[in-house]
Structure 1
Amino acid sequence: MKAAGFIKYGKPEKVLEIKEVDFPIPGKGEVLVSIVATAINDYDWSLVRGKPYLYRLFFGLFKPKAQIPGMELAGIVQEVGSDVTKFTVGDAVFGDISAFGFGTFAEYVCIDANALEKKPVALSFDEATAVPHAFCLAIQALHDLGNIKKGQKILINGGGGGVGTFAVQLAKLEGCVVTGVDSGDKLEQMKAIGYDYVVDYKKTNFTKSGETYDLVLDCKTNQYPWSYLRALSPNGKYVTIGGKPGGLIQMLFFGKLLSLFSSKKLQIVSLKPNKDLEDFLELYHQKKIQVLIDGPYLLENTPRLIQYFGEGKHRGKVVIRPGHAE
């Protein structure tokens, strides 16, 4: 089968290649899935480059343990292991498989059946693969940690990416006033999906603008923790979905220290994969949420697209089709 694989860390366009690899065989608790669509995430950008270096403790110190990136999929079950009762051959499935492994930048993958959920007919494969990681991060940041309330003033940093485009829709459903921060060429599209105000980060540092917010959702985490305090109202909350390990360690330490003398909060999302997919499906069936897709693109474009993603040029979720028809 074809896959986008690599054997050493480096720039995606230099180390990733489309090649033939061994066909996977499912274990007792696994399913074999033909992948109709997959999507790019921050983990892929970090995994291929082996950066930040601290991640190599998990990815492999000198070379990658997982040689095919990719952690989201939508596809069709082709074979089930002897212990699998959740699915049968022919079922359409989708999910974030990161709790069990990587490998979705390929025509097929074998993965633990618990990593997947059944895909409704109304949800296209391209839409389905774009949902699990980004939507669950957005809802867990806003609801589980942010305790979002009607009418709040909210800012989303990195608002034009996958998490940001879901988060703004969730916030607007709560009647919030939402500001999005991203690069200038994304701002018009961000207004179209629901942002009340948009900020070009190249022109304005939102932490120095003088504006304050009840909740800041950060998809970038590229400033010092104390910088964000300027952008928070007296009881404001800052929630980050991730970033460089060094910055997150600072955030964790400073957040605990801050709680001793301030009503402001700095928090980090610890993602529970696929936990909130039922919430997404309910909103989708009610036509209260839409999926913003960049693509779909062919598998052959994967090295270029991971670089494109890493440079922050994508709009919504970057979707790749390994070659199977729906």
Structure 2
Amino acid sequence: MAKKTYVITGTAGFIGYHLADLLLTQGHQVVGIDIVSDYYEVSLKEARLANLKKFDGFVEKRIDLADWDAVEAVFKEHNPEICVNLAAQAGVRYSLENPRAYLRSNVDGFLNILEACRHYPVEHLVYASTSSAYGANTSMPFKVSESAEHPLTLYATTKKSNELMAHTYSHLFRFPSTGMRFFTVYGPWGRPDMALFMFTKDILAGRPINVFNNGDMKRDFTYVKDIVQGISKLADVPPSIDTDWDATNPNPNTSGVAPYRVVNIGNSRCEKLMRYIEILEEKLGIKADYNMLPMQDGDVPATWADVSELTEITGYAPSITIEEGIGHFVDWYKSYYKINS
């Protein structure tokens, strides 16, 4: 396998950290961009970066993606073959409180990545989108060939805009781009604002857990190592212009005028939230108290990924069950926070 230089944005973040760790283990060079924001506990982000700094092939760049001069300097210095954009202002619910943060990071920052890939051509731009893009669509499982035109949150809107921006740049400047719609990622080193992390923290503290829509939720829970395996394999297979594309009946996830595609990366299983919680209780050995609440604004009752495009392109399909994945998370959580079983 040829060793390459990757620029990965968001390497202090959950998915970016795991992807960088995988690629560094494979012998690639990783230039990690992250501003290390205080959206959640900075100490967790610093701990992730400390692990990456143990690799000789890791270079840290602590810059803001919205700073064009800083982004350009990184690409000019390192000339990466592949760019993976995972940095973003995350969180569906936080977009209701601080919408401008999403435009700066997810739109302005992504524009700078596109400009960098334009002026310092890469073999492939791979970037994070979201299952939230499907919004009001209730056709299950979600297929990238179907509509994603009715997002329900500003977060989802910014990620959908990334797909449109990438298509434009791939058309105009002919660099391949792949957008990845992630489905409810969980696992060790996860984000403290995500359900599994919050549930675990509250259960261990003896507090009731908040369960929205009175527990009547279903999600395609995807283990983080399945996600990063999918990313690494996609990065090796840049898209080309789709010669079968029909402009009179256009397929939204490929293009006849650009080397462009969008794929789902999910576990391809629709799991009940209450089963997810039950497994966590089993792994912790503690029965939780539930605070049943109504559905939150912008949320959806179910997600479920069709990953046939991912498998067709790479031969890979996520496979780690929630029983296995939650067990790994609990083991990590207890170790990281020094909690005796």
Instruction: Give the structure-2-normalised TM-score.
Output: 0.26
Larger % of helix: which? 2
Using the size of structure 1 for normalisation, the TM-score is 0.27
Please state which structure has a larger fraction of its residues in strand. 1
